[in-house]
Structure 1
Amino acid sequence: MSMHWQELLPADQYRVSSAGMLHNYDRNVLTRLYQPLIGPICLSLYMSLWSELEENRIWAEPTTHYSLMNTMGLNLRDIYEARLQLEGIGLLSVYKKKNGETKEFVYELHPPLSPQQFFTDGMLNIYLFKKIGKGAYNRLKKFFSDDVLPVREYENVTKTFAEVFASDHSLYISDEAEGVKEPLVHQQFIDRQEGTLPTGFEHQFDFDLLMAGLKSSLVPRKALTPRIKTTIAKLAFLYDINPLEMQKLVLGAISIDDEIDEEHLRKSARDWYQIERHADMPSLVSRVQPVIYRTQMDPPRNQEEEHIQRLETVSPLQRLKQLSNGAEIVEADLKIVEDIMLNQNLNPGVVNVLIEYVMLKAEKKFTKNYVEKIAGHWTRMNVVTVKEAMELARKEHRKYQGWADGNKSSAKGSRQKATRTEMVPVWLNKTEEKKTEQKKAATVSDEQKKAIWEQVKKLNVGGDHADAKD
């Protein structure tokens, strides 16, 4: 059973709330800055939930997910997946309470980051730059900017509060005035809050390993402030920098005041990425198979289920490294994987199956045209789970082999190679073994049938002789 059915049912109710006032200007920010990163379905879900809030209110009436499915014209799995992305990017908080057989949810909408926060974030703005390109990115910066007025050329003649108003000291304050600044019981003031930045990076970075290689005489522990640690963790996530490499970047960012220069650290990380990865900017993709598309949630009972679970919990980059015996991945292979995840919109677990299938079949060669052809076929077949990808690869193995042979024959200067034993993934070999066993079983069955008919013939002949004697 898919995970979303365990988390969410159409009959489950939800209420929409807002962490603060949402303004019309937020729609521009969401549409132009967030939509390229999270896609139209996520934006549609946010807007649909927002529409349930009455004007100038921060709570909506309860309704069911079935109603939301009808409103958006989407199935529950797509809504759940979009909800997870809104949570991850900081636009939604979810609260759950069990109510008998069903569950109740509170969907708290967070306002998006302000344009200034977004463009100076150091993470979301980089993903946006990679997604839409330099030209479109600069146009967006211009759209969300305005000319700076030369205020300093003018004299500030603004009056202060004390210059304009006086306080009447004869004013009598009664007991009724106590608590005038507090809201009514069980209520809260409607306010505007800042947008929420993406979080959770600190738990994924090994700060103990980082600090073990940094001498306190070179990098004082006080220099690793909470803000700097957050920046280090975000940069490590953004550019895939391990703690050992990060040690060098941190050492290079120490100022004469024994503080870590945040901007210098950001620039060093970006330069490191461009040199090591031979790429300008990273792209925003799912690290591992989304939970709702995982089929192996229970403890595995055999090797195949164990392998499925492994492919569902490892990133394509890690799987590519594993199949390369831990060697550093070349830029061309990284670009191929990135393209099929973004352009073909394949889930990470499905990409893992594709990587494994191609790498083991083609003697560790990762040919762009061959990979993209299979990826395109899987996209058209709407393959979203690891198990579906395996089954389709088994089913279409001969077709894919034909595509590979076609690529070989069309290559320039190709020569006929000696016959070799084809390497295929274990799960594919298992299927071939099953087919062989079934074929053998069928052969045995035919032989048994033949033996039975021979016995029948002998019985018939014996019967004829008996009749003659009589």
Structure 2
Amino acid sequence: MAQHWQELIPIDRYIVAANGLLHEYDRKVLTFLYQPLIGSTCFSLYMTLWAELEENRLWSEPSSHHLLMNLLGLNLKDIYEARLKLEGIGLLKTYVKMDEEERSFIYELHPPLSPEQFFLDGMLNIFLYRKIGKNHFARLKRFFTDQQKPLEESFVEVTKEFQDVFASATPGSLQYMQNIQSELNPEDDQQFIGRNEQKPIVIDVNTFNFDLLQAGLNDSLVPKKALTPKVKEVISNLAFLYNIDPIQMKNIVLGAINEANEIDSEELRKAARDWYQYVHYDQLPSLIERTQPPLYRVQLEEPKTQEEQLIRSLETTSPVKVFKDSSGGVEPSTSDLDIIEEVMFKQKLLPGVMNVLIQFVLLKTDMKFTKGYVEKIASHWARKQVKTVKEAMDLAKKENSTYLGWREPSKTGKTSKQKPIRTEVLPDWFEEKSESTAKDSSSTDINKELEAKKRAIEEKLKAFRK
């Protein structure tokens, strides 16, 4: 896994470019629709890069990342992580050129989706709805829409057509157009300033196993030609959004076939959403359904030890499933899920790190999941900038006694001196004896041997005296 200092250093130069003109209306879209999803740091980075562009220009002057650090008041690691989020959500493209002495970047800003594209996206709108709630989502929808002005029957359109206003060109003017035809196109190193249409986010179709899906579909019911590139794009997006495997997707696809043996994309989206809400009790997907990002996975090779297998499991499993498995298969309550999502959002804990926190808290508090205790440990991990499962496990073992002291006292105010009996199975990463415990055990064995030898010598002396 590449570290940020391997990808970026303060003296690296960069130039800001724009993929088409950015309008003032884009600021409202970024503020109200994108900022809840990407956070204030990413929003500030985008706005700062945008500010480096002069009005109605597509290129900025060169600058260094050291200046960017001073402008934002952020370290290079935070800037690098914010850049990755902007790239992932489609607002930024990054280009790099390596020279012998320095490294240069081009940060190409892309405009956000239009409000219509965003609210009909099928993925971003779902995440926003889950993030801000029904009431605020409806308020934003009203903010970005307006009433259509109805045309009453008494109004009659009187707009003139082009040919009714302008005369046709004369032969002389046509000759003139032929003479300047070569002057119409921009120079080889130039381009017209304008606005390019932003494309919605698309999940790579290679992330979904279409071979397995096609194997489960009967050709007589769903012909292969029905899986067009556009349909595959929709399926890969839905599989990512709702965490649907090919076996489950088969039934959803079968329910979206129309009379012409074609797959209706809208019916496919509706069927996937209905399936998810049925399985998850009318809920929509959120952060707790995500797994550890590939950038922060440390167990990339095939696991060889039990600890490596555990790390791989925590990196590839969502927090809600880890909570369920750690609770003996019992479904987490709504309040438990709210705690997990709120902690992940406020403290910006990655899913794998949250998995370690869930296991630790449940096993150390007799399966209680108290918000205050969870937030206290999560805040400590956030300040320590814990990003990987291994870092979280090591910190939990190191600060074990400290975290135990943070637990809430009993309501009676009395503490029991009796050592609690722990019946649950601890995770393998916590099954380690401290060095002090090992030394105490070793010294005890030595003392027993000395006592035995001492008694044997005393018995010999007694026999000799007799």
Aligned residue for 1:454?
Answer: none
Moved more, 303-312 or 128-137: 303-312
Is structure 2 residue 225 aligned with structure 1 residue 222?
yes
Q: Does 1:210 align with 2:213?
A: yes
Residue 125 (structure 1) aligned with residue 142 (structure 2):
no
- Give the 3-state SS of the residue equivalent to 1:32 in structure 2: helix
Q: 1:426, CA displacement in angstroms?
A: 2.4
Of 391-400 and 316-325, deviating more is: 316-325
Other-structure match for 1:185: 188
What is the Cα deviation at residue 187 of structure 1? 1.1
Once the two structures are TM-superposed, the CA of residue 340 in structure 1 deviates from its matched residue by: 2.8
Counterpart residue identity of residue 10, structure 1: P
The more displaced of 37-46 and 210-219 is: 210-219
Q: Check conservation: 1:346, 1:379, Cα contact below 8 A.
A: no
Instruction: After TM superposition, give the deviation of residue 262 of structure 1 in Å.
Output: 2.0
In structure 2, relative to structure 1, the CA distance for the partners of 1:198 and 1:441 (3 Å cut) is farther
State the one-letter code of the partner of 1:278: Y
**Cα offset, 1:17, TM superposition:** 0.5
Gaps in structure 2 of 5+ consecutive residues: 451-466
**Kept after mapping to 2: 8 A contact 1:127/1:282:** yes
**Who is 1:353 aligned against?**
356
The partner residue of 2:431 within 423, 429, 432 is 429
In the alignment, what sits opposite 2:34?
34
User: How many correspondences in the alignment?
Assistant: 438
Matched with 1:455 is none
For structure 1, the 5+ residue unaligned runs are 411-415, 451-470
Equivalents in 1 of 2:38, 2:68: separation in Å?
19
Q: In structure 1, what is the equivalent of residue 57 of structure 2?
A: 57
Contact 1:15/1:106 (CA < 8 Å) preserved in 2?
yes
SS in structure 2 at match of 1:170: helix
Please show how residues 255-294 of structure 1 align to structure 2 within 5 Å: 255-284=258-287, 287-290=290-293
Deviations 1:79-121 (A, max 9, x none): 1111111111110111111112432111110000001111111
Deviates more, 1:435-444 or 1:12-21: 435-444
Cα distance between partner residues in 2 of 1:53 and 1:251:
50
Q: Secondary structure at the match of 1:31?
A: helix
Look up the equivalent residue of 1:263 and give its one-letter code: E
CA drift of 1:231 comes to 1.4
- Listed as ranges, the matches of 1:276-315 within 5 Å are 276-284=279-287, 287-290=290-293, 308=311, 311-312=314-315, 315=318
**Paired amino acid for 2:238:** L
| Cα 1:304/1:17, change in 2 over 3 Å | same
Q: For residue 99 of structure 1, what is the aligned residue in structure 2?
A: 99
RMSD between aligned residues: 3.5
Q: Which amino acid aligns with 2:135?
A: G
Q: Give, in whole Å, the separation in 2 of the partners of 1:375 and 1:388.
A: 18
Structure 1 counterpart of 2:458 = none
Is the contact between residue 288 and residue 320 of structure 2 (CA under 8 Å) also seen in structure 1?
no
The 3 A distance-change label for structure 1 pair 343 and 249 is: same
Tell me the SS of whatever aligns to 2:47. Answer: helix
Residue identity opposite 2:61 in structure 1: E
Deviates more, 1:256-265 or 1:387-396: 387-396
Query: Is residue 139 of structure 2 the alignment partner of residue 139 of structure 1?
Result: yes
Contact 1:4 1:292 in 2 (8 A): no
Percent sequence identity over matched residues?
50
User: Deviation at 1:330?
Assistant: 4.8
Q: Please, which of 242, 247, 263 is the counterpart of residue 245 of structure 2? A: 242
Residue 26 of structure 1: how far off its partner (Å): 0.5
State the Cα distance separating 1:315 from its structure 2 match. 4.2
Equivalent position amino acid for 1:373 in 2: Y
Deviation string, structure 1 residues 182-223 (Cα, Å, up to 9, x no partner):
211211111211223222342221111111111121112222
Paired residue secondary structure (1:44): helix
Opposite residue 252 of structure 1, the aligned amino acid is G
Q: Report the Cα distance in structure 2 between the residues aligned to 1:148 and 1:107, rounded to whole angstroms.
A: 39
**Alpha-carbon distance between aligned partners in 1 of 2:353 and 2:265, rounded to the nearest angstrom:** 37
Which of 1 and 2 has higher RCO (CA within 8 Å, sep 6+)? 1
Query: What does the per-residue CA deviation read over 1:167-191, in whole Å, with 9 as the maximum and x for residues that have no partner?
Result: 1212234875243332112111112
Where do residues 316-331 of structure 1 align in structure 2 (5 Å cutoff)? 316-317=319-320, 319-320=322-323, 330=332
- C-alpha contact (below 8 Å) 1:287/1:315 kept by paired residues: yes
Q: Higher mean Cα deviation, 283-292 or 13-22?
A: 283-292
Q: CA deviation at 1:143?
A: 1.0
> After the TM superposition, which of the residue ranges 235-244 and 58-67 deviates more from structure 2?
235-244
Tell whether the 8 Å contact from 1:378 to 1:389 is kept in structure 2 after alignment: no
CA pair 376-433 structure 1, distance change in 2 beyond 3 A:
closer
Residues in 1 aligned to 2:407 and 2:229: alpha-carbon distance in whole angstroms: 52
1:394 matched to 2:397? The reply is yes
Match in the other structure for 2:464? none
Deviations 1:247-294 (CA, angstroms, capped at 9, x unpaired): 111111111121222222222211111110114322247934456656
Post-superposition offset of 1:316: 3.2
Letter in 1 for 2:360: Y
8 A Cα contact 1:3 1:293, kept in partner: no
2:462 paired residue number: none
* 1:325-363: CA deviation from partner (whole Å, max 9, x where unpaired): 9x6955656555333322443222211211332455578
8 Å contact kept, 1:17–1:108:
yes
For 1:434 and 1:137, the matched residues in 2 are separated by 55
User: Offset of 1:322 from its aligned partner?
Assistant: 6.5
Q: Per the alignment, do residues 436 and 294 of structure 1 end up closer, same or farther by CA in structure 2, a change over 3 Å counting?
A: same
* Amino acid aligned to 1:434: E
Aligned to 2:454: none
TM-score (norm 2): 0.82
Q: Distance in 2 between matches of 1:88 and 1:273?
A: 24
